[in-house]
């Protein structure tokens, strides 16, 4: 059979036009038209890795980020300075850590196997953090990269290969500014800074070289907040990334490209999450309080397996995901406690993954209960940063109350000053304390004190300072606080309150999942239209079908007769309900 030549030409031309890739312009309107890739919306869980020369000292305050060690030295953070001098000597410089960053026990295949076992679908490695040290042989950072000094190997390349061979997608984190680059020393306004020259001559060539060489599926930008997106030339960079970098066509980026940026997935850190919106979002946090490994953290700072599962469920029920950080040591080992948490999360997802992967939020997202924690605090000097003040309390939208007695350390006139993020009120002897007020007291005299605190979002801190005539203002010493008027029991009675989600909802095209973060001994209810005659309530990982009652728009699911020894795993349980026929996603 002969096909006319003109018809063949038209067919091939049409095929060519159909395959012509979309090109995006260097403007936010064009870039915002690019959809989020399906794989990313469905992934829900990624592994973040903060690893670099800061993994050698691996030290900061218990509530601080260890990867900010250099910045602490620059701004005169006394605990970091003292640690540096005590452990490494007075002449040791931050750059000297590069030779000690050996990664001699780094096994990229072991890392990739662990990440796959965790249930993660993608990995993001800090190719360059704010200290400017690069984990690949960057031409723009000679003798300040892992190929020239320290490990003497291409860490980005080795891990990228292993991660992809494990069936996961590989992503890279890149800090736009650097704390100590000669062209632009971020955060040092008195330096001879030229951010435009830095962007033009250093940042853009380095970024493009990194992207073209490793072609990541996720690009996580950071450090943008001191300048708008126009200064970082972000729209230009992203248009190049999408059009000409050689990265996968379904590459995805976050939103940290400077003020004015309207693209990318939001990335709250150590928060209670954000409300569902048009863009998928990802909560970023470590297993403890820091991203980089911090040897100064206590065991209680780490999430348990149960807390980790709950955190993921809450994020996904609000339309988000979790980018869970591990902080390896300088020798390349991932600490065993971190490995244990990843394995535990993977075991739970192996049973319950259908309620997490490829799901969306289902209004009303969940149900909440009041949570209260009581304890004795030694003093009023707290900087929780972005963290929860107590186990079970939300890191955002919580309240605290302290009651006790202040004992005057000497005769004299005393004043108090509060610092709080977000809001605090002080009452002395039942009266509201006002700024500039003072009170004369005798040594050993005790007066009742009450302090109320409310936290909204992000940073949380509260401190009460004591001022005495002709003396430097200091935080009220612990020796001045007592629980009782007799002064027999030191400290303050503290009460923390917040809401805590105990039931989370997700949905697919044909099912709604009610994820119980506590096993309901008798049962639980969900808002629901009248069930159809063939309606069934199942439990993921079990063949059991649960009896139910429906009345006035509420579905009561009965669990009292379900045997405990048949629970499909620990931590959280996913009940599966057929979606009502009139409800789409």
Q: How many Å apart are CA 48 and CA 43, to the nearest integer?
A: 14
Within 10 Å of residue 543's Cβ, how many Cβ atoms? 8
Given a cut of 50, whether residue 443 has pLDDT beyond it is: yes
Give, for 313, the enclosing helix (H) or strand (E). helix 305-317
Confidence band, pLDDT 50/70/90 cuts, at residue 585: low
Closest CA to 324 of 118, 501, 572, 176: 118
What is the pLDDT confidence band of residue 472, given thresholds at 50, 70 and 90?
confident
Q: Taking each helix axis from N to C terminus, what angle separates 336-352 and 305-317, rounded to the nearest 10 degrees?
A: 50
In tens, the pLDDT along 26-41 reads 999 999 999 999 999 9
For 131-144, the pLDDT digits (tens) are 999 999 999 999 99
pLDDT in the model for residue 13: 47
Q: Report the CATH superfamily, name and number, of domain 35-357.
A: Glycosidases (3.20.20.80)
List, as one string, the DSSP characters of 477-532: PGGGEESSTTS-SBSEEEEEEEEEEEEEEEE-SSEEEEEESS--SSEEEEE-PPPP
Task: Give mean pLDDT, residues 119-131.
Answer: 98
Name the percent of the chain lying above pLDDT 90: 85
Lowest mean pLDDT among 308-317, 431-440, 554-563: 431-440
Res. 16: pLDDT tops 60: no
How far is the C-alpha of 411 from the C-alpha of 414, rounded, in Å?
9
Supply the pLDDT for residue 482.
98
* pLDDT band of 584, cuts 50, 70, 90: low
pLDDT tens-digit readout, 209-237: 999 999 999 999 999 999 999 999 999 99
Q: Confidence class of residue 11 from pLDDT cuts 50, 70 and 90?
A: very low
- CATH number given to 508-578: 2.60.40
The 10s digit of each residue's pLDDT in 252-286 is 999 999 999 999 999 999 887 777 788 999 999 99
The CATH number for 368-499, chosen from 3.40.1190.20, 3.40.50.2300, 3.40.228.10, 3.90.182.10, is: 3.90.182.10
Task: Tell me if 409 sits within 8 A of 479, measured CB to CB.
Answer: yes
pLDDT at residue 4 in the model: 54
Q: So where are the chain's domains? A: 35-357, 368-499, 508-578
């Amino acid at each position: 059979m002969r096909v006319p030549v003109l018809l063949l030409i038209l067919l091939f031309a049409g095929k060519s036009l159909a395959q012509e890739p979309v090109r995006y312009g260097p403007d936010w309107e064009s870039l915002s038209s690019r959809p989020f890739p399906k794989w990313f919306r469905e992934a829900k869980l990624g592994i973040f890795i903060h690893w670099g020369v800061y993994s050698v000292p691996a030290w900061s305050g218990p509530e601080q980020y260890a990867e900010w060690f250099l910045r602490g030295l620059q701004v005169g953070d006394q605990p970091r300075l003292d640690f540096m001098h005590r452990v490494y000597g007075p002449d040791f410089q931050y750059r000297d850590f590069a030779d000690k960053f050996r990664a001699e026990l780094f096994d990229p295949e072991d890392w990739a196997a662990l990440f796959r076992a965790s249930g993660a679908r993608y990995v993001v490695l800090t190719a360059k953090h704010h200290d400017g040290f690069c984990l690949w042989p960057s031409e723009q950072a000679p003798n300040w990269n892992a190929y020239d000094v320290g490990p003497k190997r291409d860490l980005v390349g080795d891990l990228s290969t292993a991660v992809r061979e494990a069936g996961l997608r590989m992503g890279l984190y890149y800090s736009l500014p650097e704390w100590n680059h000669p062209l632009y020393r971020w955060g040092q306004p008195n330096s001879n800074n030229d951010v435009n020259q830095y962007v033009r001559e250093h940042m853009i060539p380095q970024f493009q070289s990194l992207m073209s060489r490793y072609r990541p599926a996720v690009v996580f930008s950071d450090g943008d907040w001191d300048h708008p997106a126009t200064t970082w030339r972000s729209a230009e960079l992203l248009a190049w990334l999408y059009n000409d970098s050689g990265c996968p066509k379904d590459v995805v980026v976050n939103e940290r490209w400077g003020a004015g940026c309207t693209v990318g997935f939001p990335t709250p850190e150590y928060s209670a999450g954000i409300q569902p919106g048009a863009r998928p979002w990802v909560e970023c946090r470590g297993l403890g309080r820091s991203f980089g490994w911090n040897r100064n953290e206590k065991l209680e700072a780490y999430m348990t397996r149960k807390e980790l599962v709950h955190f993921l469920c809450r994020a996904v029920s609000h339309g988000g995901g979790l980018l869970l950080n591990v902080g390896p040591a300088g020798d390349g080992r991932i600490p065993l406690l971190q490995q244990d948490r990843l394995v535990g999360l993977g075991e739970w997802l192996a049973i319950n993954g259908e309620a997490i992967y490829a799901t969306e939020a289902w209004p009303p997202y969940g149900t909440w209960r009041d949570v209260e924690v009581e304890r004795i605090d030694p003093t009023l000097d707290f900087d929780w940063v972005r963290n929860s003040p107590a186990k079970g309390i939300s890191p955002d939208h919580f309240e605290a109350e302290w009651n006790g007695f202040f004992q005057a350390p000497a005769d004299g006139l005393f004043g108090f000053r509060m610092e709080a993020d977000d809001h605090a009120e002080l009452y002395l002897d039942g009266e509201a304390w006002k700024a500039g007020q003072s009170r004369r007291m005798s040594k050993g005299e005790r007066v009742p004190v009450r302090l109320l605190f409310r936290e909204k979002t992000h940073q949380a801190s509260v401190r009460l300072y004591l001022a005495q005539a002709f003396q430097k203002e200091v935080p009220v010493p612990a020796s001045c606080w007592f629980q009782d008027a007799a002064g027999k029991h030191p400290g303050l009675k503290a009460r923390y309150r917040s809401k805590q989600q105990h039931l989370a909802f997700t949905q697919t095209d044909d099912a709604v999942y009610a994820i119980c973060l506590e096993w309901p001994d008798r049962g639980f209810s969900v808002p629901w239209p009248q069930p159809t005659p063939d309606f069934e309530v199942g439990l993921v990982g079990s063949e059991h079908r649960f009896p139910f009652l429906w009345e006035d728009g509420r579905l009561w699911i009965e669990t009292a007769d379900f045997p405990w020894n048949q629970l499909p795993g620990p931590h959280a349980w996913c009940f599966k309900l057929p979606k009502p026929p009139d409800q789409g996603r």
